[in-house]
C-alpha cells in the first residue's frame, strides 16, 4: 500500500537548522521514497512497509545525534505524489 506523509520537525534547540537538514538528508538517501521539501514541511511518498521503518530509524537517529525534537506527522493511505515529480 502506498502512503503519503506530511512531516514537520521542530528541534528544541537554538541552532535548529542543522538538525532539520540532517533529518531530511537521511530520508533523501532512500531510492524508493519520493521526497518534497518546502519551507513548512516535508512530504514523503512511497510504500508503507518501506516508509514506516525509514521514519522510525531517521527519528531515532535524529534524537540520538541531535537531541530533543518534536515530530508532527500526518498520514494518508493514498499516493498523493505531485505530478511534477
**What is the model's pLDDT at position 83?**
81
Q: Within 13 Å and on the Cβ side, how many CA atoms surround 42?
A: 20
* Structural domains of the chain ordered from first start: 2-76 (3.30.70.930)
3-state secondary structure of 20: helix
Find out whether 76 and 2 touch, Cβ atoms under 8 Å.
Answer: no
Measured CA distances, 41 to 8, 32, 46, 83 (Å): 5, 20, 17, 18
Nearest residue to 75 (alpha-carbon basis) of 1, 3, 2? 3
Distance separating alpha carbons of residues 26 and 59, to the nearest angstrom:
10
Tens-of-pLDDT digits for all 85 residues of the chain?
999 999 999 999 888 899 999 999 999 999 999 999 988 899 999 999 999 999 999 999 999 988 899 999 999 999 999 886 5
Amino acid at each position: 500500500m502506498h502512503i503519503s506523509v506530511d512531516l514537520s520537525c521542530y528541534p528544541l534547540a537554538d541552532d535548529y537548522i542543522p538538525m532539520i537538514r540532517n533529518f531530511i538528508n537521511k530520508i533523501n538517501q532512500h531510492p524508493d521514497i519520493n521526497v518534497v521539501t518546502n519551507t513548512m514541511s516535508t512530504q514523503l511518498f512511497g510504500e508503507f512497509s518501506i516508509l514506516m521503518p525509514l521514519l522510525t530509524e531517521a527519528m531515532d537517529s535524529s534524537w540520538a545525534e541531535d537531541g530533543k525534537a518534536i515530530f508532527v506527522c500526518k498520514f494518508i493511505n493514498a499516493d498523493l505524489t505531485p505530478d511534477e515529480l
